[in-house]
Amino acid sequence: MKLLRLAPENTKFDFMRLRRVSYPMSAILSIVAVLLFFFVGMNFGIDFSGGTQVELRAKSGAADIAALRSTGESLGLGAIEVQRAGADTDAVMRVGIQPGGEAAQQNAIGKMRQAFGDNYEFRQVDAVGPRVSGELVQKGTLGIVVSIVAVLTYLWFRFEWQFAVGAIIGTMHDLLLTVGFFCVTQLEFNTTSIAAILTIVGYSLNETVVVLDRIREVMRKYKRLSTAEIVNMSINAVLPRTIMTATTVFLALLALFFLGGHVIRSFSAAMIWGIFVATYSSIFICSPILIYLGVRADVFDKESASEAERAPAAKAKG
Amino acid sequence: MLRLAPWKVASILTVIVLAVLLVVPSFLGAGVAERLEKALPSFLPVRPIVLGLDLQGGASLLWEVDSAALTRAQVNALRDDVRGKLREGHISISGGIAVQPRGVQVRIADAAERAKALADLQSLNLPISSALIGTAGHTLDIAETGDGAVTLTLTDAAINDKIHRAVTQSIEVLNRRLNDKGTKEINIQQQGVDRILVEVPGLQDTTKVKDLVGTTANLEFRLVADPGDPPSDFDNLPQQQGGQLPVQKHVMVAGEDLTDAQPGFDQNNEPDVNFRFNLRGGQRFGQVTAENVGRPFAIVLDGKVISAPRILGPITGGSGQITGNFTVEEANNLAILLRAGALPAKLTVVEERTVGPGLGQDSIDAGKRAAIVGGILVVCYMLATYGIFGVFADLALAVHILFIFASMALLGATLTLPGIAGVVFTIGMAVDSNVLIYERIREEAHMGRSIISALDAGFKRAFATIIDSNVTMFVAATILYLFGSGPVRGFAVSLGLGILTSVVTAVTMTRMMIALWYRYKRPTRLPI
């Protein structure tokens, strides 16, 4: 049986040379992402901005967006946003936080139910008060920070500090580009998006760890090679696996994006983007940093001298 | 590599059979689940996986206890206690008792009296015991703050203890109110320090629940004020039918002395609520009504006068009726509220989410479709890439999915829409361990190792990487669980469980299958 190979085998790409392209490019993209975040901003969902959001389905015919908007505006709930959601029959309506404390948010729902209840089915109602939305922002940010710290602590124990530095720069890069992705696409940013970001962080580190694991192994084996050669050799060795895994995850996410329904579409889109960015950064960002940080095989000497000695010379053909 | 202990194979197969049993109730409907439950030994939990509200439809309301009001009440109680103590000890103070946000302050000019007061007031300082950490401190900080002032400040522990007890008590009251008929369908649980989450499956219109939860239901029987009463002795309370009524501050009998309340109809066939006092309440009520025949008294609920009937004669039977132009529904609700007792503090909604049954079902269908199509894509891709080894990986993948759902059923975890997304994601991610192993095997074979030694080295070398790379994912999932809320937690659960099961299935099951394959096939070249 002829088997499918997406990744060419025994490749000898000079990935390290590409860092002269990838570093400036990533640096620019990261800066653009930060600028976008501050000057364009993300489309925060009501989880974080607070307010009331309802999803409506017309009881007959298509949802009349214009009529919904004009009726909605007459309710006196401030600026109102109306959008089609998925099917023709569906619309999403959103109003901001109502002045007057927590009870005012409840009032908004009541008014909407009264105004649209006859012609529309309320498929989903979310009302998030000012206090809860503030806490969700806090918790989300804290979650991301804590997860990065926790994983880096683990890496620091398992690897040398240079590797952890490489991993953190790669992870920050992925994080920034994902934020940029949300700014550019204006996909709704909500609590599921935080889940997507944390998963991307997990995936990015997973990719990085696989590459770093191999670099460490090769480094112990071939002490005379330069760091660039070692990193190149390692990345080439794990390349088939990197491509394989990125593809399987991509396939699963593709199904989720197209078939999983509009509720989690923004989540799936962010994850698909994250898989690409994480794969890219593990190869082109994390590993080349080791060259700058001057990781040499000697760093392993104290801990694994005996292991290195046992590495048989016969295997030194690559 | 090739040595395969029969007990290992047997235990893997046993675990798979158990997992199938765990998962069956979730996918075959309630009827089959019931029959299974009878047929199987009782240590096996036969219960379907719990669906989150975003999938089954329903309402979730997050309530917050008014902790500021609780603290205010605590400070007022402290002021009364201090006044009592000082009076008891005949200690004269200059000026009144000053109420501060978290305590009270008194000025005692005479040093000897001040020392005596400090000692006396010390008896108000009670130890706080907590079930978790034993004694957690005291309720008060008592200090001389110069210039003859003595300040009593409530400690954080005292304030938190009060809030904690209010939340616990509120949950009990809400359980009686909402799960009135004994069905435990409505989930009521504490969230954070001062919040209570109420989840009602299947509910769309939350108005009734909000009425039932948002009412403190503090019932009081008080006399209507005489025209001659001094203004400091009565409150002007709003009446239900409009207008205000001066009502004495003194409470004759309070709602806590009620033992029962039932909706009914009065002689004019208007809905009313019949209540019954306990012994103490009955005696008090009998005594006061006997002394005040001819005067009107007010039935006050949460500071609002529901009705103010005239006392026609002593009411000694320990029971009575409340009439107040109720609808049948209102009478019903009031009866439930009175039976369940008053909330210790007012609750306000800070977050409300409802999902209609239509959207829930759509989400289930969409999730199922995505999972099936995603699964098929990954399975085919693995087959196309690795041939017979792809079959092994796919079998391991099937068991992995089985294990996720089985462990969810076992742990009673809730499956949400992001949870389904998590399962789909781990379908893509689970084969990673297989890929790591297979690619390593290929590499080792390319370096000139024999098949058996390449297989062995592949498993051995890939293992460390598999653990390292999955730990990072697992840490991310754990933190997401700790910091996430609602449906997002469902994602963290399926991601975390998925990582654990995928490592187990990819490593043990694939190893087993490859070993069996090698033993029976005796291949001469590696098929990947």
Report the range of poorest mean pLDDT among A189-198, B318-327, B396-405, B473-482: B318-327
Q: What CATH number is given to the structural domain containing A24?
A: 1.20.1640.10
Q: Which of A113, A210, A261 sits opposite B465 (nearest CB)?
A: A210
Cα–Cα dist A287/A281, whole Å: 9
The answer to whether position A189 is within a domain reads yes
Same domain, A167 and A77: no
The answer to whether position A57 is within a domain reads yes
Distance from CA of A26 to the nearest CA of B (A): 24
pLDDT in the model for residue A203: 92
Report the range of poorest mean pLDDT among B373-377, B481-485, B491-495: B481-485
Q: What is the pLDDT of residues B402-446, one digit of tens each?
A: 999 999 988 888 899 999 999 999 999 999 999 999 999 998 998
Q: Do A261 and B470 touch (CB under 8 A)?
A: no
Q: Which of B352, B375, B384 sits opposite A109 (nearest CB)?
A: B352
Query: In the Cβ-directed half-sphere of A185, how many Cα atoms lie within 13 Å?
Result: 15
Same domain, A150 and A240: yes
CA–CA distances in Å: residue B472 to residues A48, A208, B469:
27, 10, 6
DSSP state of A31: H
Report the range of poorest mean pLDDT among A80-84, B321-325, B508-512: B321-325
**Cα B121 versus chain centre, distance:** 39
* φ and ψ of A84, to 5 deg: -75, 145
Residue of B nearest to A90 (CA): B359
Distance from CA of B225 to the nearest CA of A (A): 33
Interchain contact A213–B (C-beta under 8 A): yes
The secondary structure of B336-391, three-state, reads HHHHHCCCCCCEEEEEEEEECHHHHHHHHHHHHHHHHHHHHHHHHHHHHHHCHHHH
Q: What is the pLDDT of residues A191-250, one digit of tens each?
A: 889 889 989 988 998 898 899 889 888 888 888 888 888 889 999 999 999 999 999 999
Q: Which of A151, A244, A249 sits opposite B385 (nearest CB)?
A: A244
Q: Which of A123, A192, A260 sits opposite B366 (nearest CB)?
A: A260
Q: CATH assignment of B6-57+357-521, given 1.10.10.410, 1.10.760.10, 1.20.1640.10, 2.60.40.1660?
A: 1.20.1640.10
pLDDT in the model for residue A310: 46
User: Structure pTM?
Assistant: 0.83
Same domain, A124 and A137: no
Q: Do B353 and A249 touch (CB under 8 A)?
A: no
Average pLDDT over residues B351-365: 90
Domain boundary among A97, A128, A159: A128
Average per-residue pLDDT for chain B: 86
Chain A residue numbers touching B348 (CB-CB < 8 A): 102-103
pLDDT in the model for residue A315: 41
Cα–Cα dist B173/B171, whole Å: 5
Same domain, A178 and A207: yes
Q: What percent of chain B has pLDDT over 90?
A: 24
Q: Do A3 and B477 touch (CB under 8 A)?
A: no
Q: Compute, in degrees rounded to 10, the torsion defined by CA atoms B82, B87, B90, B95.
A: 70
Chain A residue numbers touching B61 (CB-CB < 8 A): none
Interchain contact A168–B (C-beta under 8 A): no
Q: Do A103 and B492 touch (CB under 8 A)?
A: no
Q: What is the pLDDT of residues B53-66, one digit of tens each?
A: 889 899 999 999 98
DSSP state of B49: P
The answer to whether position A254 is within a domain reads yes
For B8: left if phi > 0, alpha if psi spans -120 to 50, otherwise beta; the answer is alpha
Q: Which of A5, A57, A263 sits opposite B363 (nearest CB)?
A: A263
pLDDT in the model for residue A306: 44
pLDDT in the model for residue A314: 40
Domain ranges of chain B: 6-57+357-521, 67-161, 219-323
pLDDT in the model for residue B43: 62
Cα–Cα dist A165/A156, whole Å: 9
Same domain, A90 and A150: no
Chain B residue numbers touching A105 (CB-CB < 8 A): 349, 352
DSSP state of A43: E
Q: What is the pLDDT of residues B211-259, one digit of tens each?
A: 888 888 888 888 888 877 777 778 888 988 788 888 888 888 888 888 8
Chain A residue numbers touching B371 (CB-CB < 8 A): 255
Rg of chain A over Cα atoms, rounded to whole angstroms, equals 25
User: CB within 8 A of B181, min separation 6: which ones?
Assistant: none
The 3-state DSSP class for residue B514 equals helix
Report the range of poorest mean pLDDT among A105-119, A296-310, B106-120, B183-197: A296-310
Chain A residue numbers touching B485 (CB-CB < 8 A): 136, 139, 191
Cα–Cα dist A251/A234, whole Å: 26
Cα–Cα dist A176/A182, whole Å: 10
The answer to whether position A14 is within a domain reads no
User: CB within 8 A of B478, min separation 6: which ones?
Assistant: B492, B496
Distance from CA of B189 to the nearest CA of A (A): 17
pLDDT in the model for residue B412: 86
Decide whether B6-57+357-521 matches B219-323 in CATH topology. no
Buried b (16+ CB within 10 A) or exposed e, A269-282: bbbbbbbebbbbbb
The DSSP code sequence of B279-301 is HHHHHHHHHHHHHTTTSBEEEEE
Q: Which of A129, A256, A267 sits opposite B374 (nearest CB)?
A: A256
Domain boundary among A111, A128, A145: A128
Cα–Cα dist B98/A155, whole Å: 57
| Total tally of structural domains belonging to chain A | 2
Q: What CATH number is given to the structural domain containing A83?
A: 3.30.70.3400
Residues of chain A with pLDDT under 70: 1-2, 7, 295-318
pLDDT in the model for residue B304: 86
Mutation site, B483, B485, B503, B525, interface A, largest A CB count within 10 A: B483
Same domain, A29 and A63: no
The answer to whether position A8 is within a domain reads no
Domain boundary among A85, A107, A128: A128
Q: Do A248 and B491 touch (CB under 8 A)?
A: no
Interchain contact A150–B (C-beta under 8 A): yes
Structural domain of A67: 51-128
CATH architecture, range B219-323? 2-Layer Sandwich (3.30)
Cα–Cα dist B479/B493, whole Å: 11
Q: Do A146 and B439 touch (CB under 8 A)?
A: no
Buried b (16+ CB within 10 A) or exposed e, B29-68: eeeebeeeeeeeeeeeebebbbbbbbbbbbbbbbbbbbbe
Residue of B nearest to A130 (CA): B350
Partnered with residue B354 across adjacent β-strands are A125, B59
Element containing residue B248 per DSSP (H, E): strand B244-254
Same domain, A200 and A55: no
Distance from CA of A15 to the nearest CA of B (A): 20
